[in-house]
Amino acid sequence: MIETLKRSFAIAKKDMRIFYLKGPVVIMGLLFPFFLFLAFMIGRNLSGDHLLVGLTAMTAFFTSTAVGPTIIPWECRGRTFERLITAPVSLTTVLLGDFQASLYFGLAITFAIAVPAMLYLSVRPAIWLFILSTLLAIGCFSAMTVLMSSYPPTDVPADVMMLSSLVKFSLLFISGIFVPIENLPAYGRWISLVSPLTYYVDALRHSLGSGYLPVWLDLLMLALFGLAFFLTGTAIHRKVLERRFT
């Protein structure tokens, strides 16, 4: 187990050096959430609590899902994925390294933005819940990128980015960021439960003294979603592995 973690971290370091400054990662992970937050904030008389939740949730979601979907297509195109697979590492180890690359990117950017935002907005959340929910959420979203990159088995990053963007925007707009869950119609509340982002937004609101779902459910669902995403993504990657080289 320790050896697997060492090898996966070596893969993560390689991913960080190569992919963090790629154009699509910068656009989808940094610029896009910034402009989306401006559109969310401007012209609306929102409280500091509401602004902090929206900013943190959008930053965590987009930064942690910006890197992972494109790593394997880029490596397939450059024929480096074949060398990884033939090296003395398992496919799970490779995917765990890609997961870590997404995780570290999401954690670094999210906390770098959220902490100054708390000070500027004079908002004081329950720190333990804020940190715990953010760690679980970014882990969950990073695991989701393992699933996003699993199909279609292509070496064209744009194909994966298009599909992942469709999924991300669908989850974003049903998550309760723009309209709180309790203000949604009954069918909207049920639909929102399929989005892992919903549980993160609700956990952040709990850290500020409000929330709709039980906080234990928010944390449990983030952990379960993350585990399901990684296991499902690994299974699909294994199934389509040969098709990546044909």
Report pLDDT for 88. 72
Query: Are the CB atoms for 176 and 201 separated by under 8 Å?
Result: yes
How many domains does the chain divide into? 1
Residue written as tokens 């870590």?
A: 100
Predicted TM-score (pTM) above 0.85: yes
pLDDT band at 226 (very low <50, low <70, confident <90, very high): very high
What are the φ and ψ backbone dihedral angles of 104, each rounded to 5 degrees? Answer: -65, -40
CB atoms inside a 10 Å sphere around CB 221? 20
Mean pLDDT value across residues 106-120: 90
pLDDT band at 231 (very low <50, low <70, confident <90, very high): very high
Is a pLDDT exceeding 90 seen at residue 131? yes
| Range in 9-13, 114-118, 198-202 the model is least confident about | 9-13
Report pLDDT for 200. 95
Extract the tokens encoding 178.
């723009």
Q: Which long-range contacts (CB under 8 A, 24 or more apart) does 227-231 make?
A: 227/143, 229/140, 229/143, 229/144, 229/146, 229/147, 230/95, 230/99, 230/143, 230/146, 230/147
Full domain range(s) for residue 167 = 2-245
